[in-house]
Amino acid sequence: MAKLTLDRILQSQGFGTRKWCRELIEDGEVSIAGAAVTDYRAAFDTADLHFTLFDEDWTYREHVYIALNKPANIECSRKPSHHPGVLTLLPEQFTWREVQPVGRLDHDTTGMLLMSDDGAFIHAQSSPKRHVPKLYVATTHDEVTAALIEQLLHGVKLHDEPEALAAVTCRQIDSHRLEIVLEQGKYHQVKRMLAAAGNHCTALRRTAIGSLTLDALNLEEGEWCYLDTAQLALLV
């Protein structure tokens, strides 16, 4: 990573406009290695750079990769219309960094949601060509039957889809819950597949993307975490 002036560093991390960041620095709000830095033109190597702002410790990140345990009644939109937006669950600087969801979960769907400000990562993760498996737990209105599981595994025809869509795997959890793995990522796919198979989805939770599981992240609903390199490698 290259050296950047301190005002550019703060701006890149989402702490406001360049002018505002300069004011923060000149007011002595920023420290590096325990010493206040008041010259916004001072340049630092961003590799493994740690700094303190408002007495809180931060690490420079060229991009952020986030996993969020999304609650219900939250919209995956930067401009929500009927419910609070997902960015309200994150620190304000992520809005400045233009962090956005990787794909969407319906407002009433809960579970793992990836977010980032890395356009290439978002595009790659969202591409249907990658066939990334996603694991969901669906609660159904009617009882789960062996026939329902068989239909979902064999494939069901959805409106406006040229071919039947089938689950990669599907198993019954209990009388009204099933676990289903999909790769296609079509609009409202789990709900539409259950409806096409003669049942109805009353609750839906995404519990894994690739080999990265929500249980392994140990996040309560509404909580988030940064993803490290090893965790990102599991998203395949």
Catalytic residues: 106
Residue matched to tokens 């789990």: 190
How remote is the C-alpha of 24 from its chain's centroid? 30
Give start and end residues of each alpha helix (H) in the chain: 6-12, 18-26, 93-96, 119-126, 146-154, 189-196, 214-217, 229-232
Among residues 198, 190, 206, 218, the alpha carbon closest in space to that of 137 is found at 206
**What is the SS3 assignment for 222?**
coil
Nearest residue to 199 (alpha-carbon basis) of 159, 137, 145: 145
How many of the other CB atoms lie within 10 Å of CB of 109? Answer: 22
| Cβ–Cβ < 8 Å for 129, 201 | no
Going from the C-alpha of 71 to that of each of 111, 198, 206, 227, the distances in angstroms are 7, 27, 11, 19
DSSP 8-state symbol, 136: E
